[in-house]
């Protein structure tokens, strides 16, 4: 799933090249890292990418190994329920014998890739025996994060190599007090948005719960017009399907995970990989700064005595903000949109 816009990582993440196409951690983009991670579990010929129509060429450029026919494009983002349905229909059209599917975001960081691979394989093996289930990977929370959804753990379903639990309930992004309650209880996991399922069974759930969406998706596969796709109700698969099922499974993992959702989370990842709380990428000179992220390009960035600050320099924009205010970067993007300043988006 590589169609997001990553507005909270503006001004580096732009409409022309959102965060999944950026080299934020290491010398590969997040999309390339995701591709290589999945390729450790399944054959590369079985990897598909869903993205926006304007990113098809960029996807081909960054993933030259992928079959171009396996790049599915949406004329507009309609959230994860239409996207999942369209991807499943496209794969089944090429290979009616395809059974197991994994829906995986392309913009995440995973430090313990072996743990991710083991959990994915365990989920696929579980689904072979239990095709009525929809499985997900839940991440042990490390902080009371209010920007993520949560999964409440239920009873044990399997313990063959990896513990697989029933999902008792999903919870939307909580306020601070509730997030602390979730963390302290030990009963909740972060919802990373990973879904694994039997393709035919998932289509049966679509037919049961959102038949109008499925009908339009099937029509779109025959008549791919933007007008038709834009008429499909935009909704998340959690609300549309998952929360209505009593056959949900979760594999709890500690895989050093982050959705790289904003500059503060990126700083935490990069700082943990280094020896200092000051993370610098690009040309920099200065002293006395701590707990800062400084990312530049051609220009020299000079700093003195900064603390808890993010400085991002691109060719046409400089962003300077407090680390605890990075969630509000999205508001700058919204303001630029409202003022019609498309050149900065």
Catalogue all structural domains in the chain, each as residue range(s) with its CATH number.
Answer: 7-258 (3.90.550.10), 263-344 (no CATH)
CB 107 within 8 A of CB 20: yes
* pLDDT, position 159: 86
* CA nearest neighbour of 29 among 14, 45, 18: 18
Distance CA 277, CA 293 (A): 8
Single out the residue of 34, 126, 48 nearest to residue 83, CA to CA. Answer: 48
What span, in angstroms and rounded, lies between the C-alpha atoms of 32 and 24? Answer: 11
Helices 199-209 & 80-94 angle (0-180, nearest 10): 130
Place of tokens 């494009």: 73
Q: Quick check: helix, strand or coil at residue 80?
A: helix
pLDDT tens for each residue of 276-320: 889 999 899 988 889 999 999 889 999 999 999 999 999 999 999
The per-residue pLDDT string of the chain (345 residues; one tens digit each, 9 = 90 and over) reads 998 888 899 999 999 899 999 999 989 999 999 999 999 999 999 999 999 999 999 999 999 999 999 999 999 999 999 999 999 999 999 998 888 899 999 999 999 999 999 999 999 999 999 999 999 999 999 999 888 999 999 999 988 878 999 999 999 889 999 999 999 999 999 999 999 999 999 999 999 999 999 999 999 999 999 999 999 999 999 899 998 999 999 999 999 999 898 999 999 999 998 878 899 998 999 888 899 999 998 899 999 999 999 999 999 999 999 999 998 999 999 999 999 999 999
Task: Find out whether 304 and 320 touch, Cβ atoms under 8 Å.
Answer: no
Q: What is the DSSP string of 136-163?
A: EEEE--SS--SSSEEEEEEEEEEEESEE
Question: ∠ at Cα 113 (3, 196), nearest 5°?
Answer: 55
Phi, psi of 194, deg, nearest 5: -95, 135
Strand spans (E) along 28-161? 49-52, 71-74, 100-103, 109-110, 134-139, 149-160
């Amino acid at each position: 799933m590589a169609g997001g816009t990553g507005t909270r990582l503006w001004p580096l993440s732009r409409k022309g090249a959102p965060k999944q196409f950026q080299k934020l951690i290491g010398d590969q983009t997040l999309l390339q890292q995701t591709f290589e991670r999945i390729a450790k579990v399944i054959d590369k010929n079985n990897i598909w990418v869903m993205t926006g129509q304007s990113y098809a060429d960029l996807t081909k450029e960054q993933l030259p190994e992928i079959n171009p026919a396996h790049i599915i494009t949406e004329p507009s983002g309609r959230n994860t329920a239409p996207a999942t349905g369209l991807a499943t229909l496209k794969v089944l059209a090429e290979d009616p014998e395809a059974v197991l599917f994994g829906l995986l975001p392309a913009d995440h960081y995973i430090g313990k890739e072996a743990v991710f691979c083991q959990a994915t394989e365990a989920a696929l093996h579980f689904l072979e025996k239990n095709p009525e289930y929809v499985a997900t990977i839940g991440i042990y929370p490390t902080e009371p994060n209010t920007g993520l959804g949560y999964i409440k753990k239920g009873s044990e379903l399997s313990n063959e190599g990896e513990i697989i639990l029933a999902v008792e309930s999903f919870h939307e992004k909580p306020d601070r007090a509730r997030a602390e309650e979730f963390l302290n209880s030990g009963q909740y996991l972060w919802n990373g948005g990973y879904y694994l399922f039997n393709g035919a069974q998932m289509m049966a759930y679509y037919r049961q719960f959102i038949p109008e969406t499925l009908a339009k998706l099937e029509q779109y596969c025959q008549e791919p017009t933007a007008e038709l796709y834009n008429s499909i109700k935009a909704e998340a698969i959690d609300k549309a399907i998952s929360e209505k099922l009593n056959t949900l499974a979760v594999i709890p993992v500690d895989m050093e995970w982050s959705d790289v959702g904003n500059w503060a989370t990126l700083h935490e990842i990069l700082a943990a990989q280094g020896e200092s709380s000051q993370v610098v990428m690009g040309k920099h000179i200065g002293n006395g700064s701590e707990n800062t992220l400084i990312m530049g390009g051609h220009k020299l960035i000079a700093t003195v005595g900064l603390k808890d600050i993010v400085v991002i320099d691109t060719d046409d924009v400089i962003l300077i903000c407090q680390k605890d205010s990075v969630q509000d970067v999205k508001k700058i993007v919204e303001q630029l949109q409202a003022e019609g300043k498309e050149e900065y988006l």
